[in-house]
Homo-oligomer: A and B are copies of this chain.
Amino acid sequence: MGRIDLLADRLVDHPLVDHPLVDHHCHGLVRRDLSRAEFEGMLTEADTPGPPGTTLFDSQIGFAVRRWCAPVLGLPPHAEPDAYLARRVELGHEEVHRRLLSAAGIASFCVDTGFQPEPLTGSADLARWVGGQGFDVARLERIAELAAVDLLTGQIGVGHFAETVRARIAERAPTTIAVKSVAAYRAGLDLPADRPSDREVAAATRTWLGEIRDGAAIRLRDPVLHSFLIWCGVEEKLPVQIHVGYGDADLDLARTNPLLLTGLLRALAPTGASIMLLHCYPFHREAAYLTQVFPNVHLDLGLAIHNTGHGSAALLAEALELAPFAKVLFSTDAFALAELFLLGSTLFRRGLAAFLTAGIDDDAWTFADATRVARLICADNARRVYALP
């Protein structure tokens, strides 16, 4: 994979950040063309459109799409939304994906494949489009929910739930380089600090199965089980990604404050396991504190970058107040729309360049140091944590 090739089509940025990115947390793309309503529905964390007469294009992310994505589809910057969407359909989703992905300048994709309301492209597809590398992130709750199905259908006994989950994490595909917890969306992040005992796990499992048998959806949302799953990942020596902060209307943002994880992080510190706090907005300063005081904790700004568009540079500067520069990673958290890969990478590069350049202008660090730090944050920190080839 040549560096030149990867960057050939990319939007020109500052030389400080002019090298391929490792996207340590993203998702696949939809395999079809979209209506305007569908596109708007996938653009932000809102489930539904705004009030009549309003459009999500009138927001930071909407303006960012028009500014940065339109030229890649052959339109002038700031093309009107309808023109943009018409051009998108005209080109077809495959060509749109190819163009936007190529322009994003991402070399490696670590894809969470655990949420697929419709069939999405996989890590190999993404990698193939740009001549990069694809890796997978296994969603812990999905593994547990599939094990629950096996319990319910009698394929395994309730006493074997814990070992089944552990075995399935252990038997992962060679491309699986991390696990991910979505406890933030379910029970919230106020999780038991200590590794739950086998007895506690068995009791929680029985309660959960009872609820399912009484008609509840097969949806894990028990703090003990979320904690157990995280400890399973740690015991398998896998980095554990944890959704933190901002997400869609499904979650209760107050319960996603990373400070709720403090006890668990303190208990995990001696294991040396890498913990990755994803997104973190608007608790990115709290997350940065955790990355400073716990040696194994890292963060990214994930979906907050593309959602805040032109405003995203400020978040990065805030996260980098306390976070050691070896503890900050890049991710797009792109989902469904290839635009989100382009926006995530472009806005991240611009924000990082602005942060580093401001420091150079203020004589806070040298150009040489800034260059080295940019490489850490864009790719090398991820390569170190995930031991990427």
- A164-206 contacts to B (CB < 8 Å): none
Smallest beta-carbon distance A61→chain B, Å: 9
Q: A274 vs B366: C-alpha distance in the bound complex, in angstroms?
A: 43
Contact between A324 and B56 (Cβ–Cβ < 8 Å)?
A: yes
Would you call A293 an interface residue if the criterion is a C-beta within 8 Å of the partner chain's C-beta atoms?
A: yes
A58-B325, A321-B314 as given contacts; A259 in contact with B253, CB under 8 Å = yes
Majority-rule SS of A interface residues: helix
Nearest B residue (CB) for A291: B50
Q: How far is the CA of A254 from the CA of B104 in the complex (A)?
A: 38
A11-57 at interface with B (beta carbon < 8 Å): 44-51, 53-56
Closest to A253 in B: B259
For residue A307, CB closer than 8 A to chain B, the reply is yes
A249/B364 in contact, CB under 8 A: no
Q: Looking at the complex, which one of B59, B254, B315 makes contact with A260 (CB distance below 8 Å)? A: B254
The oligomer's copy count stands at 3
Interface status of A60 (Cβ within 8 A of chain B) = yes
Contacting pair B78 A366 (CB below 8 A): yes
Question: Once the chains are docked, how many angstroms separate the CA of A35 from the CA of B358?
Answer: 32
Question: Is the CB–CB distance between B315 and A311 below 8 Å?
Answer: no
Complex partner residue of A60 from B269, B320, B326, B385, CB under 8 angstroms? B320
Contact A293 B47 (CB under 8 A): yes
Tell me the minimal C-beta distance from A352 to chain B in angstroms.
14
Docked complex Cα distance between A359 and B58 (Å): 13
A308 within 8 A of B: yes
Given A363-B67, A369-B63: A253 and B50 interface contact (C-beta under 8 Å): no
A384 interfacial by beta-carbon distance below 8 Å? yes
Q: Identify which of B78, B248, B307 contacts A365 (C-beta below 8 A).
A: B78
Asked whether A114 is an interface residue with its Cβ less than 8 Å from the other chain, the reply is no
Give the most central of A315, A318, A325: most B CB within 10 Å.
A325
Known: A67-B365, A249-B293. 14 other contacts (CB 8 A): A44-B292, A49-B295, A53-B326, A54-B326, A59-B324, A60-B320, A63-B364, A252-B259, A254-B260, A254-B262, A309-B364, A310-B362, A312-B321, A314-B318
Closest 4 CB pairs of A and B: A54-B326, A310-B364, A249-B293, A282-B285
